[in-house]
Structure 1
Amino acid sequence: MHRLIPLVLALLTMAGCATVPVMTNPGQPSAIQGQPAERAARQFVQVVDRVEPVAEAECRRLLRMSANCDFLIVVDDRPGQEPNAFQTLDRSGRPILAFNIPLIQSVDNADELAFVMGHEASHHILGHLGRVQQDATIGAIVFSGLAAMTGADAQSVRSAEEFGASLGARTFTKDYELEADQLGTIVTLRAGYDPVRGAEFFTRLPDPGNRFLGTHPPNAARMEIVRRTAEAARAGGV
């Protein structure tokens, strides 16, 4: 847990450990209220201790030796950010789960933080980064090919390629988010937290609705898949 020491120090030096309001949009106060920094730091360390080994075990169970399951959990302490968490890979392919300080302080309870952590870990387990890249590549090939067939110049073909990549990358992202919610529910349960209570974090965020080519599904759809998955898992003895 030595890698979490900078988080504790960063949080404890923020505004005398005062309660910090979190903003979802510039100039608009969020419904999410921050919690004291010391409590947030301790809660984060506790959740990591319980969720990380479960996520790694689930990764090894589903992927066996086909992927790196050694999660590195880090804290993004850059100032002026909105609450955010994301999954990425380092140069060696090791999965990284990153959480910024506003998100760590904005959760209402450990269940919410555990669910977000399980969700982000599930993106790696399900190979979503690679699938988005593949979707983007297909979109780029299709649109640049169509542009070239019409006799467009090199700049127009390049623009079509960039547009196709962007469009392709967004095509299935809502499906991927729901898949990560589903597996994240299992990870959260197995770590000893309540995923339904944890997913209530979404209800305090702006609802993206069911927008065409939106990156996230409606909050109601996310809550529904979490509830159904949790009920099935509990019935099965998870």
Structure 2
Amino acid sequence: MKLKNALGAFGALVLLAACEVVPVQNGPLPPASPTQTSQPRLSADSAARSFVQVVRRVEPIAERECRARTTGVNCDYNIVVDDRPGQPANAFQTLDKQGRPIVGFTLALIADARNEDELAFVLGHEAAHHIAGHIGRQQQNAMAGAVIFAGIATLSGGDANAVRTAQELGAEVGARRYSKDFELEADALGTIITARAGYNPLRGAEFFARIPDPGDRFLGTHPPNAARLDTVRRTAAGL
């Protein structure tokens, strides 16, 4: 089973899998702004039940898309809920030591959802990160950045500490270099997964109107909300 134990009571919703994970890929949602709301939040019980229903419908579609679009990739998603106190509204995709994809939701994100379409879109988005191989690509970019920056520091006559610092900076820059592209790729494929699971991706992406816009910052990790909404609209129009 892909969902680690979900009960009707919201506070009893599940927790992180026991296996160790490698937290590489961040999720699509910065903390929501409490002043920007269009629809009321679901009740605690409704949010919990909606989340369970969404997982049951979306996970098989995500697994099917994963198997159709990849070769030799573990497509058995493990959906978990992070119930640690104080965690902001967020979702993430990572891998365990065996390469099994993990998609995690914080309780705050589930509680902030206005409808099942939003939960479905976020799950589809995170599942898409795995299908597109974004963790491996991000690691490759980080390694390339570390090598380049370390080489520059060495040629500039830097000592061991300077080279080490350059490696760390280069890894960070490299990891961020294509992160915006990765997010838009995940938005596009997430739109397809959401729609094929029977949910409305356009309605699901309405949460972009409630969260702070990251703008178009240099080396920022997320693209502007307008670009993400445009990606969803164009992809949905092509279905």
Would you say same fold, with TM above 0.5? yes
Distance of 2:222 and 2:150 partners within structure 1 = 27
* Cα offset, 1:5, TM superposition: 3.0
2:152 is the counterpart of 1:146: yes
Find out whether 1:63 has 2:70 as its counterpart: yes
Query: Would the aligned equivalents of 1:12 and 1:38 in 2 still touch at CA under 8 Å?
Result: no
- Structure 1 gap segments, 5+ residues each: 14-22, 234-238
TM-score normalised by length of structure 2: 0.88
Q: Which of 192, 196, 201 is equivalent to 1:195?
A: 201
Q: Rg bigger for which structure?
A: 1
Give 1:30 deviation, angstroms: 4.7
Aligned-pair CA distance for 1:202: 1.3
Instruction: Name the SS of the counterpart of 1:24 in structure 2.
Output: coil
Q: Tell me the number of residue pairs that the alignment of Structure 1 and Structure 2 aligns.
A: 221
Match of 1:91 among 97, 114, 120: 97
Matched with 1:31 is 36
Output the CA distance in 2 between the equivalents of 1:82 and 1:147: 38
Q: Could you state the TM-score of these two structures normalised by the residue count of structure 1?
A: 0.88
Q: Does 1:49 align with 2:56?
A: yes
Contact 2:142 2:171 in 1 (8 A): yes
Residues 7 and 177 of structure 1, relative CA distance in 2, 3 Å threshold: farther
Partner residue, 1:19: none
Q: d(CA) in 1 for partners of 2:7 and 2:148?
A: 44
Distance 1:2 1:215, change over 3 A: closer
Return the letter of the residue paired with 1:213: L
% same residue? 59
Q: Deviations over 1:133-191 (max 9, x none)?
A: 00000000000011011111100000000000000000000000000000000000100
The one of the two structures with greater contact order (alpha-carbon pairs below 8 A, sep at least 6) is 2
In structure 2, give the amino acid aligned to 1:129: I
Gaps of 5+ in 2: 14-29
What is the Cα deviation at residue 6 of structure 1?
A: 4.8
Residue pair 1:72, 1:97 contacting (<8 A) in 2 also: yes
| Aligned AA (1:48) | V
CA gap of 1:104–1:7, structure 2 versus 1, over 3 A, is farther
Alignment of 1:80 onto 2:86: yes
Deviations 1:44-90 (A, max 9, x none): 000001000000000000014x2000000000000001100000000
Tell me which protein shows more helix as a share of its residues. Answer: 1
Equivalent-residue separation in structure 1 for 2:137 and 2:207 (angstroms) = 26
The aligned residue for residue 224 of structure 1 is 230
User: Which residue in the other structure is 2:165 paired with?
Assistant: 159
Deviation at 1:207?
0.3
- Deviations along 1:76-135, one digit per CA (max 9) or x if unpaired, are 000001100000000100000000100011011000110000000000000000001000
Report if aligned partners of 2:6, 2:12 keep a CA contact under 8 Å in 1: no
- Counterpart CA distance in 2 for 1:174 and 1:8 is 36
SS at match of 1:182: helix
Are the aligned partners of 1:7 and 1:75 in contact in 2 as well (CA < 8 Å)? no
In structure 2, C-alpha distance between the alignment counterparts of 1:169 and 1:71, rounded to whole Å = 24
